Amino acid sequence: MFLSTLHLQNWRSYGDARFDFRAPSPRRPLVLVGAMNGHGKTSLLLGLYLGLFGRFGLRHAEGFSAFKDEDVSFYRGAIQKFRRNVAPADEPTTVEIVFAPATGETCEEVRVVRRWFFTNDGKPRQGEGFETVELYVGGKPQRLTGGLDAAHDRLERLLFPAHFMPAFFFDGEQAQTLISQSGETGIKKAVEVMFGTKIVEEVQAQIKQFLTFAHGKAGGKRTVSVQQKALDQKLDERTARDGEIEELTKQLVTLEHRKQELEKAQRLLTESLARLGGERRGDVEGLHADAHRVEQAKLAAERELTDRARVLGLALAISRLAPAITNRLQSEAAREEWENLRQGVQVRGEEVLRVAMPEPPESDELLGHLSLPLRERVKARFGLALEQIYNPPPNGCAPDYLLGHAKGEMREKLVALVRDVGGQRADDIRACARRLKQAREELEDIHAKRGRIGDLPREVGDLSSRLSEVQTEIADTSRQLGAIERELHSKKVGLKDLSAEIGRLQEALAALEPEQKRIAVAERVHRSLEAISQELKPITLQRLQELVTRHFVAIADRRYRESEVMFPAESPPLLCRKDLPDQQIAMMSGFERRAFGIAFTLALAEITQRRIPLVIDTPLGNADNEYRPRLLNAVTNVELDQVIILTHDAEVAGSLFEAIEDQVSQTFLVEFDRDRAESVVSDGAYFAGVGR
Amino acid sequence: MRPPPCFDDVETRRRIQQVCELNSIDVNLLIDLCEVVQGYSGSGRKEGVTADLTLCFDAFLARANGR
């Protein structure tokens, strides 16, 4: 349902103004009514309150919360104040409101025209002539036998209870009133009305009257057949039996869940134990092998580093002399080689001379004829010539031996060592040190792992103990399950017998006279309604709490995310937070109260499934920039046919307007015309510079 | 006239159904009765309500016999 028309005549600042709202589409449910302060926003809201429910709407107006519905003279005075002060005396003050079915709705249009009449001197008319109301449903005028009260009841049925109005026609500034009323008195109960549980009670009362009437007609309750009494008794038994079965089924489900959880725990514990016994044994063996390998690597690295450190001192000492020492050793090697060659010549000289000058001289055909002295002189010359073969020593020979203690192979090793020392690089030493460090760290890790594995027996003991406990619990749970299953089976067998008996009794009753049959049905209906009424009340309250909580936490500050809204019996609503004391919503900040009001409104719309338009006066108020988009988002993203926002130029404007612009189906601008002394409504207009 | 929302809600409808089955009536009977009572509510006239309730019971009995 959507608000299709609001026609205000001589109402506060309005002379004769119409708001004709177009049928909203699901994509564009928003209507913005812009007006500066004092130009007619609150008058519009008051028009809805009083136009719909007359004096029952007054106490929702700002400043009238203490008003009692029965105080008619006060009501007349209030309406006199709401009448436009320059209204022509012969014209009444009129509010006309039309609700039309939204797309897809099957309900009929509801039109209310409420008029208040005044005397020529501007005083409220006396008696019943002061106020009239006309009600049209589907265009047809409704006969209202009880006058204003009858209209009130019909409107409550067709639309919503009067004290619901602050929820659907919501003034952000009046959130406090809504909170008080939601907890202490009616709105909670009104939810029951809209949810239908109240009508269930009314039907119950009506059936009771029917039964009294029918019993009287049939000659008194005593004449109700014996079968009916027996049936009632059996039905009661069956109700009790059903309750028992339901309770046992619940216990059964709980125990089955418990058993499943225990079995899962058992499986996990068994797996843990298996891992400890199998995989960890492999781990231990691996660790031993690793330890041995790393120990060897560490020792090798240490040895290498020690060697390198030892030669490091020598390297540092001779690094500059190394080439000279190498040259010296090589020249001494050359000298040694020369001396060996020369010595060889000396050793072989005699043999050479014997070949050159054979003995005795007679055998020497060439020089045998020489005299002995001459022959000795020739021999000496040959000997001298032989000595000259390796004289003087070749270049590169040392003149003497400075390092004469090093000879032969030892000298070659020494040359290689000196070369090696001279070429030793710092990078090699660092690499070696790194290898050592790495090996030591690996070894430490292995020791730590060994330490942990040392705790294995204790861990196994703990797991085994827990497993044993779980197995005991599983056995207990299984025993309980078995007992409950047996009991449940027995109860179900009993229920079957009982149902068969009830069936027989019902068949017997079916043979009774028609009036008695109706009585029998009415009795059953009465009993059913009693049970339904009892069952649905707590569900309704719970549903309301859940929905208000959901909307509230979406709007309110982040610190309330984990909170829950509760409606305790006969006290104002509370906000319950984990590990914190409960907080009365009425004592919270202005914005949180506003957030609650809007959350309540959205929850009502959802729970009652009523397609009632939501009219919100200045929803954002003085909310800060963090709250504003959240709140506007909550209001604009609800499944309502129509959301009418009354706002001023500093509220739904700028980026906030842009955020919702796509959802806006219609705008109005209300401006007070000083010359005409009335508020003028412009359809399609909005504040200058905002929007399209 | 539309039945009260508690007859549309899944959970409450299930509960209502259970209670009706226990008492050998059907949910439609309750919906019909609600409609009758709602129709008379606020109208200021109560005459005829008993006759309308009787019609509901008779309709139910006819349905029950037809089953």
A89-145 pLDDT, tens digit per residue, is: 889 999 999 999 887 777 789 999 999 999 988 899 988 889 999 999 999 998 877
| CB atoms B43 and A154 under 8 Å | yes
For residue A606, pLDDT over 80 is answered with no
Contacts of A579 (CB under 8 A, 6+ apart): none
Q: In the structure, what pLDDT confidence band is assigned to residue A437 with cuts at 50, 70 and 90?
A: confident
Could you tell me if A439 and A305 are in contact, meaning their C-beta atoms sit under 8 angstroms apart? no
Partner residue opposite B37 with nearest CB, options A203, A239, A540: A203
Task: Report the mean per-residue pLDDT for chain A.
Answer: 82
Q: Which residue has the tokens 């005829």?
A: B48
The parts of chain B modelled with pLDDT lower than 50 are none
Q: Is the dihedral of CA A557, A561, A563, A567 positive or negative?
A: positive
How many domains does the structure of chain B reveal? Answer: 1
User: How far does the CA of residue A281 sit from the closest CA of chain B (Å)?
Assistant: 56
- Whole-number pLDDT of residue A174: 63
Say how far apart CA A303 and CA A295 lie, in whole Å: 12
Nearest CA in chain A to B4: A196
A-proximal residues of B, 3-62, CB under 8 Å: 3-9, 11-12, 15-16, 19-20, 22-25, 29-30, 33-34, 36-38, 41-45, 49-50, 53-54, 57-58, 60-61
Highest mean pLDDT: which range of A26-30, A585-589, A592-596, B56-60: B56-60
- Whole-number pLDDT of residue A223: 46
B-proximal residues of A, 146-165, CB under 8 Å: 146, 150-157
| CB atoms B24 and A524 under 8 Å | yes
Lowest pLDDT segment from A416-430, A518-532, B44-58:
A416-430
Give pLDDT tens digits for A645-658.
898 877 777 778 88
Mutate to test the interface with A, among B34, B38, B40, B57 (most CBs of A within 10 A): B57
Q: What is the 3-state secondary structure (H, E, C) of A409-454?
A: HHHHHHHHHHHHHHHCCHHHHHHHHHHHHHHHHHHHHHHHHHHHHC
Torsion-angle region of A122 (φ positive above 0: left; ψ -120 to 50: alpha; else: beta): left
In angstroms, the Cα distances linking A127 to A72, A118, A219, A416 are 10, 11, 47, 134
Q: CA A175 from chain center: how many Å?
A: 29
For residue A18, pLDDT over 90 is answered with yes
- Whole-number pLDDT of residue A17: 95
Mean of pLDDT values over A204-222: 76
Mean of pLDDT values over A665-688: 91
Q: Which amino acid is at A381?
A: R
Could you tell me if A186 and A163 are in contact, meaning their C-beta atoms sit under 8 angstroms apart? yes
Please tell me if residue A539 touches chain B, with a CB cutoff of 8 Å. yes
Q: In the structure, what pLDDT confidence band is assigned to residue A514 with cuts at 50, 70 and 90?
A: confident
| CB atoms B50 and A238 under 8 Å | no
Name chain A contacts of B60, Cβ cutoff 8 Å: 521
Regarding pTM above 0.90, the answer is no
CA dihedral A172, A176, A178, A179 (to 10 degrees): 130
For residue A669, pLDDT over 90 is answered with yes
User: How far does the CA of residue A155 sit from the closest CA of chain B (Å)?
Assistant: 8
CA angle A78, A83, A87 (to 5 degrees): 155
Tokens of A380: 């000496």
Contacts of A211 (CB under 8 A, 6+ apart): A519, A522, A523, A526
Full domain range(s) for residue B33: 5-66
Say how far apart CA A399 and CA A408 lie, in whole Å: 18
Mean of pLDDT values over A339-345: 86
**A141 beta partners:** A136
CA dihedral A326, A330, A331, A335 (to 10 degrees): 150
- Whole-number pLDDT of residue A342: 86
Mean of pLDDT values over A418-436: 75
In angstroms, the Cα distances linking A498 to A238, A389, A505, A535, B26 are 7, 144, 10, 24, 20
Could you tell me if A161 and B60 are in contact, meaning their C-beta atoms sit under 8 angstroms apart? no
Say how far apart CA A232 and CA B18 lie, in whole Å: 17
User: How far does the CA of residue A59 sit from the closest CA of chain B (Å)?
Assistant: 22
Considering all CA atoms of chain B, what is the largest pairwise distance in Å, rounded to the nearest integer? Answer: 38
Q: In the structure, what pLDDT confidence band is assigned to residue A14 with cuts at 50, 70 and 90?
A: very high
Mean of pLDDT values over A356-363: 86
For residue A503, pLDDT over 60 is answered with yes
pLDDT cut 70: percent of chain A above it: 88
Give pLDDT tens digits for A307-323.
777 666 666 666 667 77
Q: Which residue has the tokens 């725990």?
A: A265
Within 13 Å, how many C-alpha atoms sit on residue A427's CB side? 1
- Whole-number pLDDT of residue A200: 82
Lowest pLDDT segment from A270-284, A344-358, A360-374:
A270-284
Say how far apart CA A602 and CA B63 lie, in whole Å: 40
A610-636 in b/e form (b: 16+ CB < 10 A) is: bbbbbbbbbbbbebeeebbebbbebbb
Partner residue opposite B61 with nearest CB, options A145, A199, A517: A517
CA angle A576, A577, A583 (to 5 degrees): 50
| CB atoms B34 and A200 under 8 Å | yes
- Burial (CB < 10 A; 0-12, 13-18, 19+), residue A687, is buried
Length of chain A: 692
Within 10 angstroms of residue A359's Cβ, the number of other Cβ atoms is: 11
- Burial (CB < 10 A; 0-12, 13-18, 19+), residue A500, is exposed
H-assigned helices in A278-360:
279-318, 322-356
Could you tell me if A573 and A183 are in contact, meaning their C-beta atoms sit under 8 angstroms apart? yes
Q: Which residue has the higher pLDDT, A139 or A593?
A: A139
Q: Which residue has the higher pLDDT, A168 or A616?
A: A616
B-proximal residues of A, 229-248, CB under 8 Å: 235, 238-239, 242
Pairing of strands A583-584, A614-617: unpaired
Say how far apart CA A78 and CA B62 lie, in whole Å: 56
Say how far apart CA A411 and CA A416 lie, in whole Å: 9
Partner residue opposite B37 with nearest CB, options A199, A506, A528: A199
Q: Is the dihedral of CA A359, A361, A362, A364 positive or negative?
A: positive
Lowest pLDDT segment from A43-47, A178-182, A582-586, A680-684:
A178-182
Residue A360 preceded by cis peptide, ω within 30:
yes
Q: In the structure, what pLDDT confidence band is assigned to residue A219 with cuts at 50, 70 and 90?
A: low
| CB atoms A153 and B42 under 8 Å | yes
For residue A672, pLDDT over 90 is answered with yes
- Residue A21 per-residue DSSP state: P
| CB atoms B45 and A145 under 8 Å | yes
Q: Which amino acid is at A568?
A: P
Mean of pLDDT values over A42-60: 89
User: How far does the CA of residue A521 sit from the closest CA of chain B (Å)?
Assistant: 7
End-to-end CA distance of chain A: 28
| CB atoms A196 and B34 under 8 Å | yes
Lowest pLDDT segment from A103-117, A164-178, A201-215:
A164-178
| CB atoms A196 and B7 under 8 Å | yes
Q: Which residue has the tokens 């006066």?
A: A617
